Structure 1
Amino acid sequence: MANVCAVCGKGVVTGFQVSHSHIRSKRTWKPNLQSVHAIVNGTPARIKVCTRCLRSGKVQRVS
């Protein structure tokens, strides 16, 4: 899947955009994914990771 974090599995969430007059229309919230070089199973690879996982140190980046 395209918009999914490789570490935590965070993905797209759907819901309603609600106006002041309470007219509802469908919308999506997408995770803030960054494409990074990281160590995966001992080898460097390019993966999509959410910024929460990057900030918390769950990903070992390749320098």
Structure 2
Amino acid sequence: MSRECDFCGKSTITGNSVPRKGKSKKQGGNGEHVVRRTGRTFKPNLFKVRALVEGRREQVRVCAKCMKAGKVVKA
């Protein structure tokens, strides 16, 4: 079972975690500096929902954005 929205196809993507060190210039420092970059994953906000799909009641995985947009008809 993949971690993917059944309506829009949104799934896990990769990116970087970028920790910074130092005091920002706005706060009177010399500026923030990047310390390191490590890989991380961004996961979609999925819910298991019973919805009407083609007239049948099914359990589907839906992201919060699709639920708020009204793409899902709950059963």
Q: TM-score, normalised by structure 1?
A: 0.90
Runs of 4+ with >4 A deviation: none
Alignment of 1:7-26 (within 5 A): 7-20=7-20, 21-26=34-39
Please provide the CA RMSD for this pair: 1.0
Partner Cα distance (1:34, 1:42) in 2: 20
Partner Cα distance (1:24, 1:5) in 2: 29
Aligned length, in residue pairs? 62
Partner Cα distance (1:22, 1:51) in 2: 33
* Unaligned stretches of 5+ residues in structure 2: 21-33
Percent identity between the two aligned chains: 40
Q: Is the aligned partner of 1:43 residue 2:71?
A: no
Structure with bigger gyration radius: 2
More strand by share: 1
User: Any idea what SS the aligned residue of 1:54 has?
Assistant: helix
* Unaligned stretches of 5+ residues in structure 1: none
